[in-house]
Structure 1
Amino acid sequence: MQNLWRWILGYADAPPPAARVPARVRAMTAPPTGSVHSAEAAAAAHEAMSLAQLGDRFHRYVLGLPDYHANEPSQEERAILKRLQATCTAFDVRSLPRLPTVLPQLLRSLKSDTVGGAQLAKLIGRDPVLVGEVMRVSRSIYYRTLHPIQSLQHAVVLLGQDGLRRVVTMHVMKPILHASAGMFGHVAGQRLWDHAERCAHACAYLGKGSSDPFEAYLAGIVCNTGTGAVVRVLDQEAPMELGPLTSHFLAACAQLAAQLSLRAARHWNLPTNVLNALEERTVAGMPPESSLGRALLCADTLAMAQVLGEHALAAPDTDLSTAWPEFFTPAMIERCQQDLRRQFRDADARAC
């Protein structure tokens, strides 16, 4: 189990011995050849959905599963859930690897206004992969300048603290989410990463004025790190003849994933506010009390809607402005959704 987790989190060179994949799942994990599988699916995608239905469709999209309307779990599903819960409960968090040593010091430095570009460049220079990522982002169209970037210090100054925080977070978390896809190949990992980017962006947007911008971004990036782990354990535990998965089963898996995400975040010594927000996600049916927890709850769903809309699995302009009146005004949610579309869907269109 320890070797499994080391590979899940990207700290091993090769995966553990392959577990069998249910034939039903294996047949559905290939990426779709088009945006919409059928005219019937296209029509269903544009129907109004509740928040629970939206979440259910997103989890099916991550796993490559079709819609399934039965909700009562079978005895077989209940047995698999018990095994999943036992496996996740028995997991020894001490076997999780620590984050690279440069990161805590770098993140602390990024919260200080007295640290200059030269000092930050020196810290970043200790991680060659991070250097490459900083240089790549600084030379992108978004940051393009009249004069080419010639040095790491120039790139650091150009990105600024907010840009550097995001680059550093992406550098750490993207490989983890991609590596956690298990026997589903790179499909689930990329889909989880697409959601993480959008969730982090929305969480930072909704957290303006009430939460630290970087903590909000970090909470959005890491909130679903446990999902890939649950996917891999499900690959091991599910029998070959398992039938279509019910919404109840997927919701229970999502709760397990939230618990594993929290345990990983604690092991990584993430900021207290981030840990509190992640802990609030593990209590089903209870609204979050912290401002960051509320932003994360809404951002998670907004990101799901955005990803599904981009792939024609939901209405592209799904309006969630009135979904959380106790947390945010409809105008705030609407502006956040517009910002997500501008930042991601429109950016993808320009890239084509």
Structure 2
Amino acid sequence: MIDFFRRLFGKNAQPASTQPPVLDIANVAPATIPVHHVTEKPAEVWHPDKNFYHLYVKWMLSEQLGASSPYVEKTILSGLEKLRKSDLAASQLLPRVPTVLLQVLKSLRDSNVSANDLAQQISKDVSLVAELLHEVNGAYYSPVSRVTSLDSAIQLLGFNGLRMLIARTAFRPIIQTQSGQLAKELAPVIWEHSEKTALACQLLAQQAKLDGFHAFLAGLLQNVGLMIAFRLVDRTGVTDKLPISASFQAAFFRQAVLLTLHVGEQWEFPEPVLRAIAKKHSETELCSDLADCLQQADQLARLRLLVNDGVMTETDVAGFLPANSGLLQCFQQLNQSQA
């Protein structure tokens, strides 16, 4: 999996002795992680109040909350702490990456590769073909006539579009492939939120002239630790519900963030992606442009899910978002992301 992401990010594999040092995030609380390349906080960064956060969490976990229990809470939190300090957090959840994805990523680094060459490689994986054609024929690209040729689909997607498609294809089973009751019930919601956050973050990053691919990766990565945490709850066997205690939930979600950063570090994600996720959950006043995009994208994705489920209305959202910020336009595009 590490080699897969190296190819995805366009890096060459390096001998262990020459690898650059990685940020030691695993044992540092989010609030104390240093944020480099900070900028003055933009005037139109939108941060909804805590009531919205509680509304979303209550909606997401409404059927999965149980009574408080000191024993259950201690068992879960100590299990998360132990898992985070081990090297098993990623390997326990990683599916095998199809060889075709690795071949396509290698080819994408060749400036002379043709659409026909890529089409021949992609055609070897039926599920990837279906994913690609589904993508280009969806509302986001809205072709005049249905695209049925792989060559045409690849040309329409372009280099970055294809990289994003492959990234999403690799991430989906990490979040969706679950066996325990709690993780299985929450996986569809977590995956839909991840996809919409990734799309929103990419759109906002493009508006801010930032790296759209890094933004897309940050949106996909941020929930990986949460799914690991839910799966660990299932594996403890002490409960099939999440204790309702506010203090427990705060500690649980904080551990999930640290797990995400730990996994991202193991997979050698780009430093700007890890720092954006760390900063998003930080209490420091320092900020980064990518972290701001991720913060707002996360909230827009939550709004989209609440509206789609009838908890809020489009009119509610229009009044909720700051005027003339471009956020409403981004929000309206989120139902165009492909499932």
- Tell me the TM-score normalised to structure 2 length: 0.69
The correspondence of residues 40-119 of structure 1 with structure 2, limited to 5 A, is 51-65=49-63, 75-76=70-71, 78-80=73-75, 81-93=77-89, 95=91, 97=94, 99-100=97-98, 103=101, 106-107=104-105, 115-119=113-117
CA distance in 2: counterparts of 1:94 and 1:228, whole angstroms: 11
Which deviations, in whole Å up to 9, do the C-alpha atoms of 1:195-243 show, x marking residues without a partner?
1121112111221233211221121122111111111212344745978
Q: CA deviation at 1:77?
A: 6.1
Partner letter of residue 220 of structure 1?
G
Identity of aligned residues (%): 26
Aligned length: 284
The correspondence of residues 1-352 of structure 1 with structure 2, limited to 5 A, is 51-65=49-63, 75-76=70-71, 78-80=73-75, 81-93=77-89, 95=91, 97=94, 99-100=97-98, 103=101, 106-107=104-105, 115-140=113-138, 142-146=141-145, 149-180=147-178, 182-184=180-182, 186-208=184-206, 209-237=208-236, 239-240=238-239, 245-281=244-280, 284-287=282-285, 289-314=287-312, 316=314, 317-318=316-317, 319-321=319-321, 331-332=324-325, 335-344=326-335
CA distance in 1: counterparts of 2:124 and 2:52, whole angstroms: 43
Which deviations, in whole Å up to 9, do the C-alpha atoms of 1:81-121 show, x marking residues without a partner?
23432343335257354744554664576578764423433
8 Å Cα contact 1:308-1:314 kept in structure 2:
yes
- Tell me the TM-score normalised to structure 1 length: 0.67
Using a 3 Å threshold, how does the CA distance of structure 1 residues 242 and 265 change in structure 2: closer, same or farther? closer
Point out the more displaced range, 86-95 or 105-114: 105-114
Which deviations, in whole Å up to 9, do the C-alpha atoms of 1:273-318 show, x marking residues without a partner?
223223334x542356332122112211221122122213345433
Using a 3 Å threshold, how does the CA distance of structure 1 residues 249 and 172 change in structure 2: closer, same or farther? same
CA distance in 1: counterparts of 2:164 and 2:219, whole angstroms: 11
CA distance in 1: counterparts of 2:253 and 2:190, whole angstroms: 13
8 Å Cα contact 2:73-2:243 kept in structure 1:
no
Point out the more displaced range, 255-264 or 283-292: 283-292
CA distance in 2: counterparts of 1:272 and 1:99, whole angstroms: 23
8 Å Cα contact 2:199-2:216 kept in structure 1:
yes
CA distance in 1: counterparts of 2:163 and 2:60, whole angstroms: 27
Please, what is the CA RMSD of the aligned residues? Answer: 3.6
Partner letter of residue 228 of structure 2?
A
Q: CA deviation at 1:156?
A: 0.8
CA distance in 1: counterparts of 2:268 and 2:244, whole angstroms: 35
Q: Specify every segment of 5 or more residues in structure 2 that has no aligned partner in the other structure, as ranges.
A: 1-46
